[in-house]
Structure 1
């Protein structure tokens, strides 16, 4: 291994171009990287990305210009699917709607084609079927932090491999994707209720000429003796 290109202490950028749910995880990642002996910073604007060893682009909404990627030796992103399956948008949401309870999490090097870079690390988050949107984000955020630390703290540069197999693409979710059918039971639509965002794209239904929104919050586990069905 060439220690000049994979030093023990690395200069690391954690790039998050949009404020949102990942912010506390990004802040913790930077803190943990510094505690591990690296130089790390949270970057909001692509123009502020410094030259360095590693840049993680996490929860980013914009395409990163090639001249920005050139500033770091290695640029990585983490995607919640078994790439090349499930490229695109909101992969964890689409998989929950498909009935999945094991969500692959894949770290890849960034490439010109979206979500098409070589695979560096893979792990899995496990769902029990009751988790709501915020809880799924917590599981994913913690896993992303863990994988980024594992990558950066590795004594040797982790090996990567090309993606293989047939690819698939998830489209961007829109507010109308949170629409419920008032003629179906809540149980039949529970997976959709699990993934809605109460603030940004709440569940809603149209009935008798009006539109209604629903908020879903978990109140806690029901004692076994009271559980039915």
Structure 2
């Protein structure tokens, strides 16, 4: 029987793992932490494929050279290689993107592509991640059942820089729709919220709703500095 691993520490992939385990006959394992994702642990399982829908760490060479590792990147590669794809796309004004399933290689996000599927960028970051989880599930099924072979990337390479927590500062934004985008694109578990600061307080924003481009309603967490 085939063996597959799903690597993600995100809670929105819990259901994805259970769905794959219950619908695709195979030995399925879930890895949630960096410590678990080690060569010796993988060697014991000896997976046929390792699926990585969301991971913020560099995948070691001894792993991707030994095992077939497939990551899911939220851009139409080779456009948007690099970090913080969701936030960079929304910041650039995109409302639609593609999820690219690619084989891990030495160069970041430069490996050959198995397949691509459309993804809407409307809603909060967490809503988008949940939506993408269902799409990733369909892509995994296609890769397994259709025996898809990856194809070398073609097109102009555009590289994104990983965004830093301090870039969530909304105090210097002058456009209301931009403020809304900043709040929603950072509104997900484990992500640093959009914020502004005064001398004494830090205001963190979530659950934003844009009303006719004139008003934003949002939850705010106020922290004394």
TM-score, with structure 2 as normaliser: 0.79
Larger Rg: 1
After superposition, the C-alpha distances for 1:134-188 in whole angstroms (9 at most, x for unaligned) are 111111222112211221122xx21321111221221122111110126735334
Match of 1:111 among 100, 105, 120: 105
Q: Which has the higher strand share?
A: 2
Correspondence list, 1:60-79, <5 A: 60-72=55-67, 74-79=68-73
2:37 aligns to what?
A: 46
How far, CA to CA, are the matches of 1:83 and 1:110 in structure 2? 13
After superposition, the C-alpha distances for 1:70-113 in whole angstroms (9 at most, x for unaligned) are 443x2211101011110111212110111111111100111111
Give the conservation status (yes or no) of the 8 Å contact 2:196–2:202. yes
How far, CA to CA, are the matches of 1:175 and 1:147 in structure 2? 31
Q: How many residues align?
A: 206
1:179 aligns to what?
A: 169
Match of 1:132 among 102, 124, 132: 124
Gaps of 5+ in 2: 215-225
Inter-CA distance 183–168: structure 2 relative to 1 (3 Å threshold): closer
1:59 aligns with 2:58: no
How far, CA to CA, are the matches of 1:38 and 1:161 in structure 2? 26
Please state how far the C-alpha of 1:115 moved relative to its aligned partner. 0.6
The 3-state SS of whatever aligns with 2:4 is: strand
Give the conservation status (yes or no) of the 8 Å contact 1:25–1:145. no
Please state how far the C-alpha of 1:204 moved relative to its aligned partner. 1.4
How far, CA to CA, are the matches of 1:172 and 1:183 in structure 2? 20
The 3-state SS of whatever aligns with 2:48 is: strand
Correspondence list, 1:137-148, <5 A: 137-148=129-140
TM-score, with structure 1 as normaliser: 0.78
